[in-house]
Structure 1
Amino acid sequence: MKNIQEDIKTGKFKQAYLLYGEEAYLKQQYKRNLVKALNPDDDTMNFNRYEGKGIDVRELLSLCDTMPFFAERRVVLLEDTGFFKNKCEELADYMKALPDYLYLVFCESEVDKRSRMYKAVKACGSIGEFKQQDEKTLMRWAAGILGKNGRRITQRDVELLLTMTGTDMGNIRMELEKLISYTVGRDVVTAADIRAVCTTQTTNKIFDMVRAVTEKNQKRALDLYYDLLTLREPPMRILFLLAKQFRQICLTKKMSQEGLSQTEIASKLGVPSFVVRNLASCARSYTVEELENAVRDFVDAEEAVKTGTLGDVLSVELLIVKYSSARAVRA
């Protein structure tokens, strides 16, 4: 990413750029900045955009061979083309000798680093991978945005924010805007503010339900389940997410017993450290054997729904009741 920033800053551009990865917000931000720098006057005559997997490559190459109209550059933006997952031999060959006026910007979700297109861009241009940002980076970024808008926030409350919003930067940015508007006239963002205005993502509602289950708060767990159904969340998706959460709780329990730190567990699970803390808290209510049984129960429930033995709504309800039933807590 730094190499692309440097090119934008200096105005010395490569002829091809590939932006890819799962962090869509950052990727789109870099795309906009790069295209703006390459086409500062918003020249529609010499800027072309293609999107999707149905691009006619010969038509594209014909456009690329067209000299810019009263300008130094022709800029072509190509998004989600699939060229870096599927073969695109003609374009890969063409990129061996690009016209000096042509600048190509590719923006993709997934790439195969072994593909000819990836190697072609690497040979003549610059590549930026946009990975999901880690917990510390997201916390600094969120606190920084609030700081620029005259707001302060504690580390604990930033963690609460991320717990509710998830780690998608676009979603976090949207929730920060809501918080900034909500706290006009004040300089501190509190936990109460976050709970008042921030939208909890489905995965986080699921975790709230899991926490209620592990705390043996059956009424709250069922209320949260019915709330999700009211929001038209498919029961099978709820079942899938419940299974995923219990699988993570089980793995957290096992790794903790093996002596791994929260940071190490977070790295292996691919989640922020504060999520591991929540998982570890939930794990205290069960033995490893009980958690393994729960994971198997979720798999069996999915199979029962698929074969028509059990209804989807009822299958989830029965699992919630089973694992939230009051009994002696075993660690």
Structure 2
Amino acid sequence: MNYLQAKKEVKNGKVSPVYFIHGTQQFLIEDFSQQVLDQVVGQDGSDMNVITYSFSETPIELAVQEAETLPFLGANKVVIVKDFQAVTSQKQDVKIEHDIDVLIKYIENPSPESTLILVAPYEKLDERKKITKRLKKEATVIEALPFDDRMMKQWIEEQTASHHIQITKEAQERLVERLGFDLLLAASELKKLALYVGEGGEITPREVDLLVARTLEQDVFALIDFAVKKRLDGALVIYHDLLKQKEDPLKILALLARQFRIYYQVKGLSKQAYSQKQIAAQLKLHPYAVKLASQKVSQFEERSLLTLLEAAADTDYAIKSGKMEKVLAVELLLMKMTQDL
């Protein structure tokens, strides 16, 4: 089950006795756990009915014992086990003996007064392990994985609905363009936008442009766009604005080189009839990054991209070997970009 579906069920009062959350998106893990806490113990619930353990520090039997113990004052209880390494093949940092069979017996017959949340913040699971198989069969499994474009838009709509406001499709696109899929940052920016438009208001691209600052990556996209249009003046304005914000020219150079590399790889794989999904898997990129690159690569010749990759490498060498001052070196690269693209 994905995060959005699971959160909707909890919000509607359907809480499972055992949740198994796995994936690398910490924001989703924390947000879903908080949703369960609000539903089970309430926002004003007793801290004595919220118990958190670390798998690397506490035997799992103690967490199970806690889940089996009656809650304080007859209320409901939430037991959270973080860093649940038993479902991975990685070695534990701390050597603690765990009786996993005790946990397996519990998830097969969990206490109705408790909700157990097992958190495995890892990209891959060891599907061969007995505990992994049992959890997938008996528990409610939630994937805390990066959103695709569709899920990101659903999440934005959910967030705006919780603030009692609306957002246009164009504003959604603009927000994702500016922030990417950084959910923590997006949640913060949506709160700010909600305060600005007020309850019952609507977020349009105007509000996004007014209130949401571009990320460094977005400024790099803009730099390249100006270069494609032979607008050195526009590229230099953005570059010097970044310098005023204390961004290191070497960091800007690295992001430029990374973007050239992505464009070159996407263009090459697209010519081989790879789909965007296949390209994302091949290059280990987020599908949205591939989508953006696919929209741009028609503006570039492969030879020009190779030339710029070589120029970026030469610029990096000139800076690090002390042959050229870094601010000037990147300026010269921007000049070359407007000539070669």
Report the 3-state secondary structure (helix = DSSP H, G, I; strand = E; otherwise coil) of the residue aligned with 1:65.
helix
| Equivalent in the alignment of 2:164 | 149
Q: In the alignment, is residue 77 of structure 1 matched against residue 94 of structure 2?
A: no
1: CA distance between counterparts of 2:91 and 2:196? 50
Preserved CA contact (<8 Å) 1:46 1:71: no
| Equivalent in the alignment of 2:65 | 65
Of the three residues 97, 111, 114, the one matched with 2:105 is: 97
TM-score normalised according to structure 2 size: 0.74
1: CA distance between counterparts of 2:164 and 2:122? 35
Check 1:322–1:145 CA distance in 2 against 1; reply closer, same or farther (3 A cut): same
| Equivalent in the alignment of 1:227 | 241
Report the 3-state secondary structure (helix = DSSP H, G, I; strand = E; otherwise coil) of the residue aligned with 2:287.
coil
The range that moved more, 220-229 or 17-26, is 17-26
TM-score normalised according to structure 1 size: 0.76
Deviation at 1:32, TM superposition (A): 1.3
Q: In the alignment, is residue 271 of structure 1 matched against residue 292 of structure 2?
A: no
Report the 3-state secondary structure (helix = DSSP H, G, I; strand = E; otherwise coil) of the residue aligned with 1:324.
helix
| Equivalent in the alignment of 1:30 | 32
Check 1:143–1:94 CA distance in 2 against 1; reply closer, same or farther (3 A cut): closer
Check 1:267–1:195 CA distance in 2 against 1; reply closer, same or farther (3 A cut): farther
Question: What is the letter of the counterpart of residue 113 of structure 1?
Answer: L
2: CA distance between counterparts of 1:152 and 1:74? 37
Q: Deviations over 1:83-120 (max 9, x none)?
A: 55434561534423338546431334324311746445
Preserved CA contact (<8 Å) 1:112 1:118: no
| Identical counterparts, % of pairs | 22
Unaligned runs of 5+ in 2: none
What RMSD, in angstroms, separates the aligned Cα atoms of the two structures?
3.8
Deviation at 1:143, TM superposition (A): 4.9
The range that moved more, 108-117 or 190-199, is 108-117
Question: What is the letter of the counterpart of residue 81 of structure 2?
Answer: L
Unaligned runs of 5+ in 1: none
2: CA distance between counterparts of 1:144 and 1:63? 33
Structural mapping, 1:277-316, within 5 Å: 278-280=295-297, 283-284=298-299, 286-302=300-316, 305=319, 312-316=326-330
| Equivalent in the alignment of 1:211 | 225
Structural mapping, 1:122-271, within 5 Å: 122=136, 124-143=138-157, 145-146=159-160, 149-151=164-166, 153=168, 155-184=169-198, 188-258=202-272, 270-271=286-287
Question: What is the letter of the counterpart of residue 36 of structure 1?
Answer: D
Of the three residues 28, 43, 47, the one matched with 1:44 is: 47
Report the 3-state secondary structure (helix = DSSP H, G, I; strand = E; otherwise coil) of the residue aligned with 1:104.
strand
Say how many residue pairs are matched.
319
Question: What is the letter of the counterpart of residue 275 of structure 1?
Answer: L
Of the three residues 114, 122, 135, the one matched with 1:110 is: 122
